[in-house]
Amino acid sequence: MTGNGSLERLKREGRIVVVGASLAGLRGAETLREEGFAGSLTMIGDEPYEPYDRPPLSKQVLLGKATADRTDLPRRRALDAQWRLGVPATGLDMAARRVRLADGDEVEYDRLLIATGVRARPWPKEEEAELDGVFVLRTRDDATALERALAQGPRRVLVIGAGFTGSEIASACRERGIAVTVAERGAAPLVGALGGVIGEVAAEMHREHGVDLRCGVMVTGLEGDSAGRVRAAHLSDGNTVETDVVVVSLGAMRNTEWLGGSGLGAGPRGIACDAGCRAFDIRGIVTDDIYVAGDVARSPHPLFGYQFLSLEHWGNAVSQAETAAHNMLSESTERRPHIWVPAFWSSQFGVNIKSVGVPTMGTEILIAQGSLSERRFTGVYGYQERVIGAVTFDQSKWLQFYQQLIETTAPFPPSFPTVDRRPEGQRPVDADFPDPSVPTHGPTVTVSGYSPDDRRLTFTPARH
């Protein structure tokens, strides 16, 4: 349905299917209706719930201040949609324009929006992952189960991984008075997202709030008792942590497996799309009728060297879904690019952390305002002599200013004086991100060579 009045026909009587009934899917569907789409709209979701908000799950819900079933996302308008909830999509026929569902049904479309998001990365040893007391945290059901376990007053909680979610879980445990150990394979919490300078501040926050923080180690195994309940975790440094609740917080996996064999350019890193949110097929050719948005999308960003970025950010999901929906109903000359500046927030140990841009691209950091020791500061990241990102600890009122610096490719370090500049902020220092070429945990096996005769296998031993 393109050209010769077909776009108006699509708006009037077309069929649009949204796979993924979470934040991006909901905002995309609402935008379709707001822009005049009057045809049939089908919402497909693998969970049995209508769209809900995920950030409160690791904060208010774990603290017992809200229940997971009270996290429904507010609606901007009525959708008049057919909801297919609790029935995951299992396949896509691009030629026939059909989505296959787990119950054997098929749904035809004229335009398809994929917003299937991510899921929590499970503990890799399946038998250990099934022990009673081992959790992940991504869904409403995950949060309900974990909060119930915390309410029972466990002796100790072990959190595996000290990224943002793991740190928020540790913070919630301490606020509830529960002993908690955090095992992080990196040198400090948040080091992969914000670098070593900020990671040291995060580590101090953990320890000052009573977290038993173990960095530079990995959990090598979980041990259960005769009843099948987890009782201990073994670490790579030879130590053992006695625990009856383990929370695996090892990042996320993108939900793309259902697209295997479809011909769409989808894989473990997400679904590649152009700046207008149109998905690529496996040949690298952009599709005309399939769009993608939210955590599962990978799109080029002009502000960051046209890198294909996958952003697991609340605001990005909203913005990209709105752009995708607009472009689905627009002529090519009226389409717009998705150029949202990445931003996220976290609340842990009583500190509000916010960031804009892409700090992980930064090679240097300047503490432009405030002081690291006071846990109230603004850190500005530089890359190739331009401002590339910023992070604030309890100083978010300045963030919009630094976002403008990023958007205007302002020089780094900032050449002007700032409010509350301290001696430590007179010159930038190494942002101290981990070197991705250096293994940080177990042994690494690398296979190289194109032809069978040239194949080589390199074994890099673990640090411990």
Average pLDDT over residues 376-385: 96
Distance separating alpha carbons of residues 209 and 213, to the nearest angstrom: 10
- Is it the case that residue 56 has pLDDT exceeding 80? yes
Q: What is the pLDDT of residue 421?
A: 87
- Residue 64 scores a pLDDT above 80: yes
Question: Would you say residue 361 has pLDDT above 60?
Answer: yes
Q: Is 197 exposed, middle or buried (0-12, 13-18, 19+ CB in 10 A)?
A: buried
| 464 band by pLDDT with thresholds 50, 70 and 90 | very low
Least confident of 385-394, 397-406, 409-418: 409-418
pLDDT exceeds 50 at position 370: yes
Could you read off the pLDDT of 226-278 as tens digits, one per residue? 999 999 999 999 999 999 999 999 999 999 999 999 999 999 999 999 999 99
**DSSP, res 60:** T
Q: What is the pLDDT of residue 424?
A: 85
- 420 C-beta neighbours (distance < 10 Å), count: 14
Output the pLDDT for position 418. Answer: 80
**For 1, which DSSP code?**
-
287-346 tens-digit pLDDT: 999 999 999 999 998 888 888 988 889 999 999 999 999 999 999 999 999 988 999 999
Q: Distances in Å between the alpha carbon of 61 and those of 52, 139, 155, 221, 262?
A: 13, 12, 20, 28, 38
- What pLDDT does 132 receive? 98
Give, as one character, the DSSP assignment of residue 288: E
pLDDT in tens, 171-216: 999 999 999 999 999 999 999 999 999 999 999 999 999 999 999 9
CA angle 179, 182, 186 (to 5 degrees): 165
Buried/exposed code over 294-305 (b: 16+ C-beta within 10 A; e: otherwise): bbbbbbbbebbe
pLDDT at 458 over 90: no
What is the percent of the chain where pLDDT is above 90?
Answer: 86
pLDDT at 17: 98
The answer on pLDDT for 438 being more than 90 is: no
Is residue 445 within 8 Å of residue 393, measured between CB atoms? no
Q: What angle do CA 154, 160, 163 make, to 5 degrees?
A: 120
Give the pLDDT score at 381.
97
Average pLDDT over residues 438-445: 57
Lowest mean pLDDT among 4-8, 271-275, 443-447: 443-447
User: What pLDDT score was predicted for residue 27?
Assistant: 98
